[in-house]
Amino acid sequence: MHFVQGFATGLALIVAIGSQNAYVLRQGILRQHVLPLVLFCALSDALLILAGIGGAGLLIRDNAALMTLTRYGGALFLVAYGVLAARRAWQGAPMPTDTGGGATLAAALAACFAFTFLNPHVYLDTVVLLGTLANQRPDPERWVFGAGAVSASLCWFAALGFGARFLAPLFAQVLAWRVLDGLIALTMWVLAAMLLLD
């Protein structure tokens, strides 16, 4: 029961449209570095969730300097990535839907790292919120709840990254890429505005 509650809660927080999900979706359509990105996202969530259960949520919630740094740094990164996506949408260049070309693994992981750890909401959702919900339970149930949330993250990112390949025929068209990149740019800018106005 605690595992299922953790799974459902984790899924509800992770599935929301965000910069990290948009990036994994795009890389999944391109079939570029999907497994490393899926593992990176899932392991990052696992680390943050377990840190929250271990008590780090209280430290992060009360650290104004850390939250301010991630807030402005994250907003700057989102705006910049949104500009790149908007430029791709404007140019409308066709993109490969195979594993050739594109960003290197190091560049893809660096971008994913920024999308993950420069987002203050990831700390609030995983460390603070999930940590708080888990810690309302005694041992070992709180860790079972956490295992459910970690499993939800792994399932979601695997489905997003590997399921995106079924969209590849659609994205053989230039217009589909222009629409996707336009939506990604808009998502990045809206998220940046939300960070700054939060």
pLDDT digits (tens, 9 = 90+) for 61-79: 667 777 677 678 778 877 8
CB 167 within 8 A of CB 92: no
The mean pLDDT value for 118-131 works out to: 80
Residue range 123-135: average pLDDT?
80
Q: Are 29 and 95 in contact (CB under 8 A)?
A: no
- Asked whether 137 and 145 are in contact (CB, 8 A), the reply is yes
Give residues with Cβ within 8 angstroms of 102, minimum separation 6: 30, 32, 96, 108
Least confident residue range of 9-18, 28-37, 117-126, 137-146: 9-18
Number of structural domains the chain divides into: 1
Domain that holds residue 182: 2-197
* Sign of the C-alpha dihedral computed for residues 67, 72, 73 and 77 taken in this order: positive
Tell me how long the chain is. 198
> What is the per-residue pLDDT for 183?
85
User: Is the per-residue pLDDT at 162 higher than 80?
Assistant: yes
pTM: 0.76
Q: What is the mean pLDDT of the chain?
A: 83
Contacts of 54 (CB under 8 A, 6+ apart): 131
Query: What integer pLDDT is reported at residue 194 of this predicted model?
Result: 78
Peptide bond into 138 cis (omega under 30): no
Percent of the chain with pLDDT over 90: 28
* pLDDT (average), residues 136-160: 91
Type and span of the H or E element at 82: helix 64-91
